[in-house]
């Protein structure tokens, strides 16, 4: 078996709109295609022995053991690989259960194996491991499954958001607030555009930088608290051994020594009772900070209080990793036994973390004169870590309901004194039922970015939703953090529709970010150049903090490669579906292409609108699977679908009697005469009339965009090579004209030629090309359409031949030309620049040269260069004044 391709789908996609995070693996079963599972001796027995928990996989049978039944009856190896990949992730603590296995339709034995994942890197690893495992099972070869499971656990811990950040993100998602992970660590954007907030772990974009700086300086924190009559341990800051000795004389034992700007207990040593231990602790703290705090060790229990938005939220009692002796077994046995607790797992996998032996453990044992072979006395508590962090095996108990009101007041006051809106306060005291300052307790530290795990998953007591007040603070009730999103898809007309829609929104005062096939624009400023119709470009807009309105062109390629960048949009436009890119990416029919395009309207919120082309059967049929409102557009007011829709109170835009009109039920609002809209070239560019219809509807749906805004924008949207590059761009030379257009498929070329046929030029020459990755019949059709409309043809080739030779593409175009008009004058100039140069030097006076552009920017730059040359030559030849 061979893996040919692995794609990571991160958003709504061809396979599933709701389950966006999927691995799509293309696999060639090779000889295994001839060996279904019931033809492989002992396969089921080996599979069920390796994965007994796979009995829960119901598969299409619909009951436990259903998948094993399918294996016994006989199923193909791609199906088995899907289930193994899912089970591997589940065994590593990442519950996954959605999968599909389908033939690619390209050749026998080639399949798409699709399954969901929680962490991208883990999903890719599971895909590769599943193939290895299935091959080993088929070959009856030994396989160390535990190595894969452990590796997946490690990947999970290294890549996923920590429990604190993760619970905030989950709370946001629960409320419909979108999020974008901004790096591989814990920096996350909540919300889109101008309404976004950011978190890094549990520090928010609202958190004061000064407050974080103060909290990170333990001595400065202590000074401020002491000045405010908050009880803190007596202590000092030292930098030298001499300073340490002075501090020991002044405060006496027991002591605590810690770095001045440490965190998470790193470099901390507690309950120091002698000079030797003090010196070791000093050196340990110096490895983290030049300055070291030496302070009196306060006896009691370790508590953590959490304050969010200056309100007390919860409190927990923390206990370091430890074991309790039984007088019989050694410390290693006690650790192993403790780790058998089903609540303990690897990293943050479960409520508790397994206890590991590290340098801190050895130090604490050495300090007591113990080794792992020591047998502690019955009920003796043996501490194995110096701090009570859950990530090192510590435990927590919720004590929120026990906290004395005086302590609540103190905690909230401390947060105000330091200025932290998300604040963790470490307290050493016998308990929190009494006022801390009355029973000899003290505030040890104030923490920016406090961990939430001890509160959301305590070993004992009531779990507390620590993330809820954070989201309440960042997004007051009623705020979703969203900006309006209009998504545009279809085969042709996407870019023009996107640009016009953006122009209307901008004219209405919106700060618009939009993506197109020629670039990403923020408020009409070009930020990224090139084909920007995929999820990376869409996220660029959604991450921009100046944008309050997003219009995103969503092309086939991005949807198939990675899925959409957003889970939901407010309005989706589907312009049309035609036979383009057929045979690429596993899409072999125009019906399958329609399913790809349908991903976009399927993401519309229930209260939003999908704007569908009522003249296109495949687009109109999408309505059946949508759960949102529907608006239609049509070039024919008498279209029965329009009439029925509006009869039922629906919204539509139509071209009628020379006008673009809005239909609201039985009412009609004429927006503007088509002849007055520059984009339509006095109504000759019928396809641009069609592009205006959904743009008008999409913007009309927003109450703060008026009909007058729409009319004004339609008048001011004047097509040009700068505003609409590659879309009906005219370049007038002295005695001939270039018309450059991005028409690149038969449907688009037919629309372009219909427009050209209405223009008054004595000769019309087509400069055509074919795209190498299209089907033979599509390339031939380009030649046939050109032969039907143009007087002469010049064939040139794209810079990127996409898997074919130039001769092959030219031959197919010539075949199409001969089928329609074998006598039409045809010339071949493979290089586009050379073809344009030839036209410039040998043009027919008065002729129109229509150029099909592949790389729009390159073609437009060359034509501008020729125009500048003509102007310069005219100036040189004109007589001096």
Poorest-pLDDT segment among 363-372, 480-489, 589-598: 363-372
Residue 634, phi then psi, degrees to nearest 5 = -160, 150
Give the model's confidence band at 77: pLDDT under 50 very low, under 70 low, under 90 confident, else very high: very high
What pLDDT, on the 0 to 100 scale, is given for residue 360?
85
How is residue 240 annotated by DSSP?
S
> Distance between CA 134 and CA 140 in Å, rounded?
10
Burial zone of 368 (CB within 10 Å; 0-12 exposed, 13-18 middle, 19+ buried): exposed
User: Half-sphere exposure of 486 toward its Cβ, with a 13 Å CA cutoff?
Assistant: 31
Provide the strand spans (E) within 802-873: 826-828, 848-852
Report the DSSP beta bridge partners of residue 398.
316
What pLDDT, on the 0 to 100 scale, is given for residue 345?
85
Q: Residue 868 is encoded by which pair of tokens? A: 């500048």
Burial zone of 765 (CB within 10 Å; 0-12 exposed, 13-18 middle, 19+ buried): buried
Q: What is the pLDDT of residues 767-823, one digit of tens each?
A: 999 988 888 999 999 999 999 999 999 999 887 888 889 999 999 999 999 999 999
Q: What is the pLDDT of residues 89-116, one digit of tens each?
A: 999 999 999 999 999 988 899 999 999 9
Q: What is the mean pLDDT of residues 354-367?
A: 88
Q: What is the mean pLDDT of residues 445-466?
A: 94
What pLDDT, on the 0 to 100 scale, is given for residue 581?
80
Report the DSSP beta bridge partners of residue 852.
741
DSSP string, 648-680: TT-EEEEEETTEEEEEETTEEEEEEEGGG-GGG
Q: What is the pLDDT of residues 467-519, one digit of tens each?
A: 999 999 999 987 899 999 999 999 999 999 999 999 999 999 999 999 999 99
Largest CA distance in the chain: 113
Instruction: Flag whether pLDDT at 880 surpasses 60.
Output: no
Closest CA to 824 of 779, 758, 763: 763
Q: What is the mean pLDDT of residues 447-453?
A: 94
8 Å CB contact between 516 and 508:
no
How is residue 9 annotated by DSSP?
E
Instruction: Flag whether pLDDT at 262 surpasses 70.
Output: no
What pLDDT, on the 0 to 100 scale, is given for residue 879?
67
Poorest-pLDDT segment among 376-385, 403-412, 667-676: 376-385
What pLDDT, on the 0 to 100 scale, is given for residue 586?
86
8 Å CB contact between 862 and 832:
yes
Instruction: Flag whether pLDDT at 230 surpasses 80.
Output: yes
Cis peptide bond upstream of 331, omega within 30? no
8 Å CB contact between 32 and 38:
no
What pLDDT, on the 0 to 100 scale, is given for residue 517?
92
The percent of residues above 70 in pLDDT, for the chain, comes to 99
Instruction: Flag whether pLDDT at 351 surpasses 80.
Output: no
3-state secondary structure of 425: strand
When the pLDDT of each residue in the chain is averaged and rounded to a whole number, the result is 93
Instruction: Flag whether pLDDT at 434 surpasses 90.
Output: yes
> Distance between CA 736 and CA 728 in Å, rounded?
16
What pLDDT, on the 0 to 100 scale, is given for residue 60?
84
Name, of 263-277, 523-537, 580-594, 600-614, the range with top average pLDDT: 600-614
> Distance between CA 573 and CA 552 in Å, rounded?
10
Count of Cβ atoms closer than 10 Å to residue 11 Cβ: 21
Instruction: Flag whether pLDDT at 82 surpasses 90.
Output: yes
Q: What is the pLDDT of residues 126-171, one digit of tens each?
A: 999 999 999 999 999 999 999 999 999 999 999 999 999 999 999 9
8 Å CB contact between 498 and 531:
no
Q: What is the mean pLDDT of residues 1-20?
A: 94
Give the model's confidence band at 646: pLDDT under 50 very low, under 70 low, under 90 confident, else very high: very high
Q: What is the mean pLDDT of residues 206-233?
A: 94
8 Å CB contact between 282 and 296:
no
What pLDDT, on the 0 to 100 scale, is given for residue 21?
95
Instruction: Flag whether pLDDT at 266 surpasses 80.
Output: no
Give the model's confidence band at 264: pLDDT under 50 very low, under 70 low, under 90 confident, else very high: low
Instruction: Flag whether pLDDT at 881 surpasses 60.
Output: no
Q: What is the pLDDT of residues 629-638, one digit of tens each?
A: 999 999 999 9
What is the rounded radius of gyration, in angstroms, for the C-alpha atoms of the chain? 35
Characterize the bridge pairing of strands 737-741 and 848-852.
parallel
């Amino acid at each position: 078996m061979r893996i040919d391709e692995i794609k990571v789908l991160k958003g709504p996609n061809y396979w599933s709109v709701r389950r966006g995070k999927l691995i799509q693996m293309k696999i060639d079963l090779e000889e295994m295609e001839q060996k279904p599972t019931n033809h492989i001796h002992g396969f089921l027995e080996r599979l069920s022995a390796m994965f007994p928990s796979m009995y829960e996989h119901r598969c299409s049978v619909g009951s436990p053991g259903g998948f094993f039944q399918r294996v016994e009856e006989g199923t193909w190896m791609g199906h088995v690989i899907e289930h193994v990949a899912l089970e591997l992730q589940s065994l590593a603590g990442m519950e996954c259960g959605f999968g599909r296995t389908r033939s690619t339709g390209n050749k026998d034995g080639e399949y798409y194996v699709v399954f969901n994942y929680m962490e991208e890197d883990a999903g890719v690893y599971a895909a590769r491991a599943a193939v290895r495992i299935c091959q080993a099972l088929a070959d009856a070869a030994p396989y160390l499954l535990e190595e894969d499971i452990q590796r997946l656990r490690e990947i999970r811990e290294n890549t996923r958001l920590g429990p604190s950040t993760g619970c905030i993100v989950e709370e946001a998602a629960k409320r419909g607030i979108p999020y974008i992970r901004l790096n591989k660590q814990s920096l996350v954007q909540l919300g889109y555009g101008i309404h976004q907030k950011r978190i890094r772990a549990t520090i928010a974009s609202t958190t004061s930088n000064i407050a974080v700086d103060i909290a990170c300086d333990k001595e400065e924190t202590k000074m401020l608290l002491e000045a405010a009559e908050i009880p803190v341990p007596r202590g000092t800051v030292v930098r030298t051994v001499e300073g340490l000795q002075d501090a020991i004389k002044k405060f006496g034992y027991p002591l605590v020594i810690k770095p001045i700007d440490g965190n998470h207990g790193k470099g901390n040593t507690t309950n120091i009772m002698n000079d030797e231990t003090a010196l070791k602790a000093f050196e340990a703290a110096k490895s983290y900070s030049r300055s070291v705090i030496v302070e009196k060790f306060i006896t009691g229990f370790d508590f953590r209080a959490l304050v969010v938005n200056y309100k007390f939220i919860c409190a927990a009692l923390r206990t370091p990793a430890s074991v309790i002796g039984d007088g019989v077994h050694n410390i290693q046995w006690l650790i192993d036994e403790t780790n058998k607790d089903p609540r303990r797992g690897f990293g943050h996998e479960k409520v508790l973390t397994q206890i590991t032996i590290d340098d801190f453990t050895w130090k604490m044992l050495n300090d007591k004169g113990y080794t792992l072979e020591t047998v502690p006395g019955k009920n003796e508590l043996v501490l194995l870590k110096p701090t009570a962090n859950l990530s090192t095996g510590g435990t927590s108990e919720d004590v929120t309901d026990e906290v004395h009101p005086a302590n609540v007041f103190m905690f909230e006051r401390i947060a105000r004194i330091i200025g932290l809106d998300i604040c963790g306060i470490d307290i050493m005291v016998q308990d929190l039922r009494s006022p801390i300052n009355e029973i000899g307790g003290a505030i040890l530290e104030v923490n920016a970015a406090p961990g939430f795990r001890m509160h959301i998953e305590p070993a004992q007591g009531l779990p507390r939703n620590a993330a809820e007040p954070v989201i309440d603070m960042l997004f007051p009730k009623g705020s979703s953090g969203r900006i309006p999103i209009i998504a545009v898809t279809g085969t042709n007309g996407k870019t023009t529709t996107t640009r016009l829609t953006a122009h209307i929104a901008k004219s209405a005062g919106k700060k618009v970010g939009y993506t197109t096939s020629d670039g990403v624009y923020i408020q009409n400023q070009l930020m990224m150049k090139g084909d920007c119709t995929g999820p990376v470009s869409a996220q660029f807009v959604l991450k921009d903090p100046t944008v309050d309105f997003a219009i995103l062109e969503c092309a086939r390629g991005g949807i198939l490669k990675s899925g959409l960048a957003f889970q939901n949009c407010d309005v989706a436009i589907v312009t049309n579906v035609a036979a383009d890119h057929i045979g690429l990416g596993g899409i072999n029919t125009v019906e399958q292409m329609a399913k790809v395009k349908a991903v976009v309207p399927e993401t519309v919120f229930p209260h939003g609108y999908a704007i569908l082309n009522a003249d296109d059967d495949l687009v109109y049929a999408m309505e059946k699977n949508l759960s949102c409102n529907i608006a239609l557009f049509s070039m024919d007011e008498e279209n029965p679908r329009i009439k029925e829709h509006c009869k039922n109170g629906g919204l539509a835009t139509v071209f009628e009697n020379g006008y673009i009109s809005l239909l609201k039920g039985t009412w009609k609002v004429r927006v503007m005469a088509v002849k007055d809209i520059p984009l339509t070239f006095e109504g000759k560019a019928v396809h641009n009339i069609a592009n205006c219809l959904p743009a008008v509807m999409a913007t009309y749906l927003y109450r703060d965009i008026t009909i007058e805004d729409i009319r004004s924008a339609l008048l001011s949207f004047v097509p040009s090579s700068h505003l609409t590059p590659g879309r009906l761009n005219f370049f007038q030379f002295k005695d001939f004209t270039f018309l450059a257009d991005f028409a690149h498929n038969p449907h688009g070329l037919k629309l372009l030629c219909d427009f050209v046929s209405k223009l008054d030029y004595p000769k019309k020459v087509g400069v055509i090309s074919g795209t190498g990755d299209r089907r033979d019949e599509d390339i031939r059709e380009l030649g046939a359409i050109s032969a039907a409309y143009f007087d002469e043809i010049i064939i040139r080739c794209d810079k990127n031949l996409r898997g074919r030779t130039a001769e092959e593409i030219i031959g197919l175009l010539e075949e199409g030309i001969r089928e329609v008009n074998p006598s039409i004058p045809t010339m071949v100039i493979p290089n586009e620049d050379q073809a344009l140069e030839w036209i410039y030097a040998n043009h027919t006076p008065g002729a129109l040269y229509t150029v099909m552009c592949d790389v729009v920017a390159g073609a437009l730059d060359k034509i501008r260069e020729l125009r500048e040359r003509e102007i310069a030559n005219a100036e040189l030849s004109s007589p001096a004044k």
